[in-house]
């Protein structure tokens, strides 16, 4: 294997074999199971057998990878979470333009804190958005003058206009130090505002999680030089301007096209094992709860 400097080093060593072996016996002890290991004729064969033995130990409910960290081989237990109802969790911000100033500031603060706590980004400054903007800047055959005007107006809005300003504001602005108090104090004027305020109150639990949603973005099928990159979590969960504008349509088309050639990263819980591991694999339900709430919230603001 090569490090970032191009230097080659061997991972199939006695030290790594013994680390994996002792990790295997330690986890068996935590499970209260008897572990049996058959050494190989070489360290490589022994490591391969340990992988099979660890898979048998944890059963079909868990997956086992061997990962490398700083020259150390280790067992990583992993299990995928359930995705939600929506294919893509794109949070559109255009709804804020119709809100009164106070509720707009509350909404901006809420989305800002949701993004910060969960590692969510806007579509600005992303590679696929750059591709889309390049496509939008190119002439379209048989396009009418009005269609061209609308296309270029939208492009300018994303580059340095209203769309850019709103998404930057959501990225950077936090108007309230005590958001729960601001939500309680606000008096909705109609059914839409009541549903929006109610959904934000329900979403407060996602503003201070132990692990934000992007922390679950482990790629269990990682390759150093894949033919196609997977669709990462940040490409499937992001803040956009409008669910129905041409930029979003292109982003969705780009996702659909790439997904036919590769796979989606979905939330995964992992546990790295060592000879000193003190706990069994445990899986919380944060991604499931996040998606259930997001299904409702996006349906309100879309």
Q: What is the C-alpha to C-alpha distance for residues 75 and 67, in angstroms, rounded to an integer?
A: 6
Tell me the average pLDDT of the chain: 95
Residue range 214-235: average pLDDT?
96
Statement: residue 7 has pLDDT above 80: no
Tell me which of 4-13, 178-187, 281-290 is least confident: 4-13
% the chain with pLDDT above 70? 97
Q: What pLDDT digit, counting tens, does each position of 63-76 carry?
A: 999 999 999 999 99
Band (pLDDT 50/70/90 cuts) for residue 2 is low
Please name the residues in contact with 118: beta carbons below 8 A apart, sequence gap of 6 or more: 206, 209, 212, 213, 214, 237, 290
Looking up tokens 């190989």 gives: 40
Statement: residue 8 has pLDDT above 80: no
Q: What pLDDT digit, counting tens, does each position of 134-175 carry?
A: 988 998 888 899 999 999 999 999 999 999 999 999 999 999
Q: What pLDDT digit, counting tens, does each position of 256-271 carry?
A: 999 999 999 999 999 9
Structure tokens at 146: 């009005």
Q: What is the pLDDT of residue 107?
A: 99
Residue range 30-49: average pLDDT?
97
Looking up tokens 């603001």 gives: 301
Statement: residue 4 has pLDDT above 50: no
């Amino acid at each position: 294997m090569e490090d970032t400097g191009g230097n080659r080093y061997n991972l199939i060593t006695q030290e790594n074999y013994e680390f994996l072996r002792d990790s295997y016996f330690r986890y068996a002890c935590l499970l209260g199971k008897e572990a049996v290991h058959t050494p190989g004729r070489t360290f490589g064969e022994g490591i391969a057998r340990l992988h099979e033995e660890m898979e048998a130990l944890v059963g079909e409910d868990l997956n086992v990878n061997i990962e490398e960290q700083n020259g150390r081989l280790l067992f990583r237990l992993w299990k995928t979470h359930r995705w939600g109802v929506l294919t893509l969790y794109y949070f559109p911000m255009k709804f804020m333009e119709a809100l009164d100033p106070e509720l707009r500031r509350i909404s901006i603060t809420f989305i800002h804190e949701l993004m910060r706590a969960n590692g969510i980004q806007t579509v600005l400054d992303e590679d696929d958005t750059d591709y889309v903007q390049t496509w939008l800047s190119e002439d379209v055959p048989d396009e009418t003058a009005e269609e061209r005007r609308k296309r270029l107006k939208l492009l300018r809005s994303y580059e340095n206009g209203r769309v850019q300003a709103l998404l930057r504001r959501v990225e950077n602005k936090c108007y309230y130090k005590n958001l729960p108090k601001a939500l309680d104090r606000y008096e909705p004027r109609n059914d839409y505002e009541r549903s929006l305020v109610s959904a934000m109150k329900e979403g407060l639990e996602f503003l201070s999680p132990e692990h934000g949603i992007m922390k679950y973005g482990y790629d269990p099928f990682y390759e150093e030089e894949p033919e196609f990159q997977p669709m990462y979590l940040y490409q499937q969960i992001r803040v956009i301007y409008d669910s129905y504008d041409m930029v979003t349509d292109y982003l969705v088309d780009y996702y659909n096209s790439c997904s036919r050639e590769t796979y989606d990263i979905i939330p995964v819980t992992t546990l790295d094992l060592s000879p000193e591991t003190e706990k069994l694999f445990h899986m919380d339900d944060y991604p499931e709860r996040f998606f259930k709430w997001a299904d409702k919230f996006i349906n309100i603001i879309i």
